[in-house]
Amino acid sequence: MAEQTLTANSGFVQRVLSVAGVHSLVRCLWRYVDSSIRWCWIPGWLPSWCPSSASQLQAAGEQMLRCVSADFTKQFVSISNGNQLWTLTFSNESVKDKTPMVLLHGFGCGVGLWAQNLDALSQHRPVFALDLLGFGQSTRPLFPTDPEEAESQFVESIEQWRAKVGLESMVLLGHNLGGFLAVSYSIQHPDRVKRIILVEPWGFPESQGTVDTDRPIPVWIKALGAMFSPFNPLAGLRLVGPLDNTVPEYIYHLNVQSPSGETAFKNMTGPFGLAKKPMLRRINQLQPDIPITIIYGSRSSVDCDSGSTIRDMRPDSHVDIITIRGAGHYVYADQPEDFNHKVLQVCEKVD
C-alpha cells in the first residue's frame, strides 16, 4: 500500500513540476528526489536499531571481506596529529614491480564496499584500499568548517599516507567524493600520479543544467533540493550480489559513528548537493600529461556532462569516457565484472 501511494503521489508531483515550465531542471531533480523518497519508504532495508561501536564496525567490515580470496594485510597507517588511516594491502611477488592502484571510496562508504573488485584488480598490480580520514575505521578528527581547508586536510592526509606506505607513484581510482579528492590530490602532487580513474565523481559541475534567466527556479523547488541535500549515499547499495545480507549492517555501522568526514563533506557541499568549490574550475591546473578515465553507470542520475567538459577542456591530454550498461551510481557494485574488466583494460597502458 505504501508503495502504491508513493507511486501515485510521485506521478502527481511530477506532473505539477512539469506544468511549472522547468522541464530540464525537473528531470534531473526529480530523479534525485524520487530515489531519495523511495529510500525512506523501505523500512526493512536497514537492520533493526542497535548500538554501534568501533569493534562492531570492524566485525561488519570483516564480514564484508569474507568473499575476498586473495591474500592481503590490514593495518592502521599512522599520519600526523595522532590520526590513523585503516588500510588494506594486496601485493604478491608476481606484481610487486607494477604501479600500485589506490582506491578512494565515496561519501558514507568504506573499504569493505570494494569487496567484489579486490580479487580481480589485485591480480595485475598491487592494490591499496584505505578508509578516508573521517570515514570508516579511520580516525574521525574535527575538520575545519571552511570548505577549502576541509578539502586540503583530506588531500594532506592522503599524501602523508602515501609517504608512510612508501609509494613512489600510483594509479588513483576514486568514486564519488574519492574522485573529487583524487583530482585535488593530483593537482597538488602531480609527480605521484600516473593515471586518474574517476568513477561517478562528485563535485565537478557548477550547476545541474541551464535554467532560463527569465524563468527563475521557484522557491519551493529550491526547498525540495535543500531537503534532500546532500544526496543519500546509500540509495544505490541495496543489492550487491553475494553480499546482500551483509551490506546493510556494514553501511549502518559506517554511518552511525561520530560524524567527522560526513561533517566535512557537508561543509564542502552547497545547494542541490553540488560542491562549493567545483573541480571544473580547477581542472586546467592538472598537468596535461596525466591521463584521465571517467566511468559512468548508464542508469545513474549523477551528472555525466562533466566528463565531456573535461575532455573539451584538455584537448592535449588523454581523456577516456566509459559507460557501463546496467549500472547505477555504485558502478563497481552494480556490475562488478564489467567494471573490473574495464579498469584492467585501462591500466594496461600504465606500465
C-alpha cell read off for 348:
594496461
H-helix or E-strand spanning residue 175 = strand 170-175
User: For residues 238 and 130, which has the higher predicted lDDT (pLDDT)?
Assistant: 130
* CATH code 3.40.50.1820 for 54-204+249-348: yes
Q: Is 140 exposed, middle or buried (0-12, 13-18, 19+ CB in 10 A)?
A: buried
209-213, Cβ contacts within 8 angstroms, sequence gap of 24 or more: 209/24, 209/25, 209/28, 210/24, 211/22, 211/24, 211/25
In sequence order, which ranges of 135-257 are alpha helices (DSSP H)? 147-165, 177-188, 219-227, 247-255
Q: What is the mean pLDDT of residues 205-209?
A: 68
The DSSP code for 217 is: P
Where in the chain are the domains? Answer: 54-204+249-348
pLDDT in tens, 226-253: 434 444 444 444 434 456 678 888 988 8
Per the confidence metrics, is the pTM higher than 0.85?
no
CA-CA distance, 137 to 257, in Å (whole number)? 9
* pLDDT number for residue 5: 42
C-alpha cell read off for 43:
523500512
C-alpha cell read off for 16:
505539477
Pairing of strands 84-90, 127-130: antiparallel
* pLDDT number for residue 158: 98
C-alpha cell read off for 40:
525512506
CA-CA distance, 259 to 194, in Å (whole number)? 33
pLDDT in tens, 39-81: 333 334 444 445 788 999 999 999 999 999 999 999 999 999 9
Q: What is the mean pLDDT of residues 154-166?
A: 98
pLDDT at 153 over 50: yes
CA-CA distance, 180 to 323, in Å (whole number)? 19
C-alpha cell read off for 241:
550480489
3-state secondary structure of 227: helix
CA-CA distance, 130 to 173, in Å (whole number)? 11
Q: Do residues 110 and 250 touch, judged by C-beta distance below 8 A?
A: yes
C-alpha cell read off for 246:
551483509
Please, how many CA atoms are within 13 Å of residue 213, restricted to the half-sphere of its CB?
0
Q: Do residues 314 and 288 touch, judged by C-beta distance below 8 A?
A: yes
